[in-house]
Amino acid sequence: MSRLVIATRQSRLALWQAEHIARRLRELHSGLAVELAPMTTRGDQLLDRRLDEAGGKGLFVKELELAMSAGRADLAVHSMKDVPAELPPGFVLAAITAREDPRDAFVSARYAAPADMPAGASIGTSSLRRAAQLMERHPRLGVRLLRGNVDTRLAKLDRGEYDAIVLAAAGLARLGLAARIRTWLSPEESLPAPGQGALGIECLEARADVRRLISPLGEPATALCVRAERAVSRALGGSCTLPLGAYAEAAGERISLRALIATADGRRVLRASTQGKDPEAVGAAAAQALRSQGADEILRSLQ
C-alpha cells in the first residue's frame, strides 16, 4: 500500500492521537502517505446527557466504522476506554499501543485534592465510574455531569461552573496540559476505566494489508493488560451504564488485575483482585469474584 486514511473524531485530543499514529506509521514505512479523515460522531454532538442515557460508548466509534466499511477510511484510532467491550462483526483491534499514564487527574484552581473541598462544592465528571468512587470517598461533595471535549471541560471549570473536575491524566498529558493537574488520583482512590491511557487501532478484519502495517505499533504488555480489563467489562455486560473500573499490571507473563463495580450513588462498591497468565481468564475470574459479592444485584439496579 502507498496510502492510508485514518478516520478520527474532530476533537483536539482525537486529532492529536490520530496524527501521533500517522507519524509513527510514516516513520515505520518509508514512502507511505498517511492522511486523516476527521468527522463528528454522535457522541460528540450529545453534550446534555450522560453517555449511558444517550446510547453508550458506541456513539464515539460508529461513524468511524461506517467510514471504514464504505472504503472512505482504512483504520481508526481510539482511546481504548471509549471502545465498546464488543466490536461489531468484521472489525478487529489490530494493535494496542504502549500506555500513557492510566490514572485519573483532579483539576482545580482552588483546591489541591478532593479531600480539601468543602461540603457542597461541585466536582464535574462525565463518568459514572469516577462519580461513584468520588461519592463513596467524599459524600459531602456535589458530583455533577460534565460533558464535552477536554478543552470544553477546562473552559467550564475556568468560568467557575465547577469548583473542580476529574479527567483522564493521559488526555491532558497528550495535549501538553499536564500542568493543569493538581493531583494524580491513585488507582486505590479512583480505579481507572478498562483501557484507560492506551490507544487502539481498529480496522476491518478482512484488511490483512492494513493489519500488517499496523501490527508493529502494538505493545504486547499493554495489550495483555487491556484485554484483561476489557474481559471484566464484557463478562458483566459490557455497558457504559456500569460504574465499573478495571486496571491490570503485567510483570513478565503474569497479570495482576484489580476491578470494581459500584451503585451509581457510590454507597455500595464491590472490589476484586485476580492474577494469572491468560488475560481473558483473569478478567473473567475478577468478574466472577464481583458476582460472588453481589454484582448481579447492582447490575439489576442499574437497568
How confident is the model over 50-70, as pLDDT tens digits?
545 444 555 678 889 999 999
Classify the C-alpha dihedral 149-151-155-157 as positive or negative: positive
Pick the CATH number of 104-185 from 3.40.47.10, 3.40.50.300, 3.30.1300.10, 3.40.190.10: 3.40.190.10
Look up the pTM and report it: 0.91
The residues annotated as belonging to the active site are: 82
Query: Can you tell me the distance from the alpha carbon of 108 to that of 238, in angstroms, rounded to the nearest whole number?
Result: 32
Confidence band (pLDDT; 50, 70, 90) for 40? confident
CATH 3.30.160.40 residue window(s) in the chain: 233-301
Q: Which three cell numbers stand for residue 110?
A: 482552588
Question: 233-301, what's its fold?
Answer: Double Stranded RNA Binding Domain (3.30.160)
Cell representation of residue 113: 485534592
Q: Which residue ranges does the chain devote to CATH 3.40.190.10?
A: 3-98+198-218, 104-185
Residue 242 to residue 236: CA distance in whole angstroms? 9
Q: Residue 214: what are its φ and ψ, rounded to 5°?
A: -80, -35
Residue 19 has pLDDT above 90, yes or no: yes
Asked whether the predicted pLDDT for residue 151 surpasses 80, the reply is yes
Q: Which CATH superfamily is domain 3-98+198-218 in?
A: Periplasmic binding protein-like II (3.40.190.10)
Reported as a single tens digit per residue, the pLDDT across 170-226 is 999 999 999 999 999 999 999 999 999 999 999 999 999 999 999 999 999 999 999
Can you spell out the DSSP letters for 101-157? --SEEEE-SS-SSGGGSPTT-EEEES-HHHHHHHHHH-TTSEEEE--S-HHHHHHHH
Whole-number pLDDT of residue 87: 93
CA distances from residue 33 to 30, 36, 84, 207 in whole angstroms, order as listed: 9, 10, 29, 17
Amino acid at 195: G
User: 35 vs 15, 25, 40, CA distance in Å?
Assistant: 11, 11, 17
